[in-house]
Structure 1
């Protein structure tokens, strides 16, 4: 699993990409999120001498605190997140039927949308749409956009009122 590399100087984007990858790994391998966070911090985040990049699963620039916060938040609130996702998905398209990378992306975004209003929900949605475009070439980014808009209305309805 690899994504487009965020531009230089975008450690928050790097953190989000790494969170999607970590949530994917945790679910697919059945690994404890804390163990996955430790693995990522030790082996996959930040630059190294071998100049590994996104193609090798490395995230050279990542805000480690944000990364850990997103993974922990998604793991801690998984039931609430999955219930919110289930409420916005079509009845004939349950969460389990989604591509596992897309499911990890939506969970990471939901964990961030559940936090207070910094960054604004539009920033969160745009960031995860950029990440979706890095992982998918088909209709998944459009699908993610619709789901993220619906989640934002659930978790941050007041931001729609303010404009």
Structure 2
């Protein structure tokens, strides 16, 4: 049996840098969608101002900047694969264009990871983006995100274990 070092219960755990990157990526994708900002401008703005800093009283957690860039750039480059996968997983009467812009950003970012980052277990991706949805919504949006991402993971044959 290997002995693990004892942790000080009062010490804070380091921030989940990938989780913070996912949250920032969703914010950036939303901004690009609604504000029609370019990829380059968005990456520059978030790199310079949002990742790991306090802005207008909001503390942004330290984020994995490279992972953030991979998600935002990946969604932009692979949107022609991502949107149809999301459409297929959503109810027929609700194509991705009818989904709220924040939910659309969450679903696009998560779907990018499920389709293109097969090195990350689908259950991790789903759990992380359900948590992101909870950060933005108090209603059942997290359930929609969970069901949609689960369906996409099954479409691509991801191992959920």
Does the 8 A contact of 1:81 with 1:111 survive in 2?
Answer: yes
Is residue 48 of structure 2 the alignment partner of residue 42 of structure 1? yes
Aligned to 2:90: 89
User: Residues 52, 8 of structure 1: CA spacing in aligned structure 2 closer, same or farther, 3 A cutoff?
Assistant: farther
Aligned to 1:99: 100
* Alignment equivalent of 1:25, drawn from 19, 28, 31: 31
Give, in angstroms, the shift of residue 118 of structure 1: 2.3
Give, in angstroms, the shift of residue 52 of structure 1: 3.7
Give, in angstroms, the shift of residue 117 of structure 1: 2.7
Name the CA distance, whole Å, in 2 between partners of 1:136 and 1:116.
Answer: 26
After TM superposition, list the pairs within 5 Å mapping 1:7-156 onto structure 2.
Answer: 8-47=14-53, 51-52=54-55, 56=58, 59-155=60-156
Does the 8 A contact of 1:23 with 1:71 survive in 2?
Answer: yes
Specify the structure having the higher radius of gyration (Cα).
2
RMSD: 1.7
Does the 8 A contact of 1:34 with 1:72 survive in 2?
Answer: no
Name the CA distance, whole Å, in 2 between partners of 1:116 and 1:132.
Answer: 20
TM-score (norm 1): 0.85
Tell me the SS of whatever aligns to 1:93. coil
Is residue 150 of structure 2 the alignment partner of residue 159 of structure 1? no
Give, in angstroms, the shift of residue 88 of structure 1: 1.3
Q: Which runs of 5+ in 1 are unaligned?
A: 1-6
- Per mean C-alpha deviation after superposition, the further-off stretch among 113-122 and 22-31 is 113-122
Q: Which runs of 5+ in 2 are unaligned?
A: 1-12
TM-score (norm 2): 0.86
